[in-house]
Amino acid sequence: MTDERDGARPRSRKQQRRLEEFDGQEEAFVRYFKERVYATFTGLAIVLVVSASDHAEPDHAFFALVLGVVGITAAGFVSDIVSHLAVHQEFPSAGEFAVLGRIAGGALGTVVVPGILIALAWLDVMHLETALRVSSIVYIATLGVIGWAAVRRARLSWVQKLVALGILLALGLLVIGLQTLAHSI
């Protein structure tokens, strides 16, 4: 697999297919990745706040999570349209709207596993505390994988990669703390 980026390692077949889904638009893939991170942080903050509640109910937890992630996804979608209007002075084309839809779909995908877990708690298949704990682990693992993937391909020494991963971890904890505080007020 050839890659025309200066000095970068070749892309894997999976990475190449993912880029092709976005019509080869690397910037669209960047936005896709960014929206998934936003939705993951939002979902994690909501799960943590609901977990901290003394009287959490599965139906409340489910709707808070789904509506929160749908809300942040809709905000990202509208933001992309407004940005396109501001820069290009016209609405996105049909193809560009399709890319924006795929970006939003990727962000919505972050709610699937936690949503199913909380729905199972709502149906009394599992305890809500367990569903929320596992959902938190899923979100934290997702953020960890995203951070690792971002740093892994960077053109840095292993020490620099370790420092970069540590900085991303610290910033991630800061974001989680701020979002949790905001949702708990």
Residues 46-61: tens digit of each pLDDT: 999 898 888 899 999 9
Give the chain's domain count: 1
- Does residue 115 lie in a domain region? yes
pTM: 0.78
Specify the higher pLDDT residue, 5 or 121: 121
> What was the pLDDT predicted at 165?
87
- Does residue 10 lie in a domain region? no
Region 68-95: mean pLDDT is 92
- Does residue 161 lie in a domain region? yes
Q: Note down the domain range covering 30.
A: 24-184
> What was the pLDDT predicted at 1?
42
Tokens of 45: 């903050």
> What was the pLDDT predicted at 84?
86
Region 64-93: mean pLDDT is 93
- Does residue 1 lie in a domain region? no
